[in-house]
Amino acid sequence: MVIVVIAVLATFVAPNLFRNVDDAKVATARAQIESLATALDTYRLDNGRYPTTAQGLGALWQKPMIDPPANWTEPYVRKAVPDDPWGRPYVYEAPGRVNPTGFDLLSYGADGKPGGEGDNADILSWK
């Protein structure tokens, strides 16, 4: 009888628990994108431009070997740029397709594919 009660409770609790985990991942991705965008803006102030797509977000952590900027003075983030909460690298393009005078920074969400809804929706630096 006890096992049945635990099983019934688990069927109600588990979906709510997993929904909270998914919400936390989306919130984490948004926060990381905001933090990286701030670091990219600081990089631009020091170097006159954003890192190129080829240099990537790694240019915030280590001085780029490809076309190194003359004024790179420090790491712009405290540690190496993390992957998104689903374990994939953030997508970075500079100049951006959406922001041709700046950069596009995004995560494709839980499914890792462009578009989607809910947890699968893209998380974008410009929205």
Convert the pLDDT of each residue in 57-87 to its tens digit. Answer: 999 999 999 999 999 988 999 999 999 999 9
Strands 91-93 and 104-107: antiparallel
Mean pLDDT of 119-123: 94
- Say yes or no to pLDDT of 23 above 90: no
Which DSSP string corresponds to 12-25?
A: HHHHHHHHHHHHHH
Q: What is the DSSP letter of 96?
A: -
Q: What is residue 96's predicted lDDT score, i.e. its pLDDT?
A: 96
Q: What's at 109, amino acid-wise?
A: G
Cα 36 to its chain centre, rounded Å, is: 8
Q: For a pLDDT cut of 70, what percent of the chain falls above it?
A: 83
- For residue range 79-100, list pLDDT tens digits in order: 999 999 999 999 999 999 999 9
Which domains are assigned to the chain? 2-124 (3.30.700.10)
- Say yes or no to pLDDT of 16 above 70: no
Q: What are phi and psi of 107, to 5 degrees?
A: -120, 140
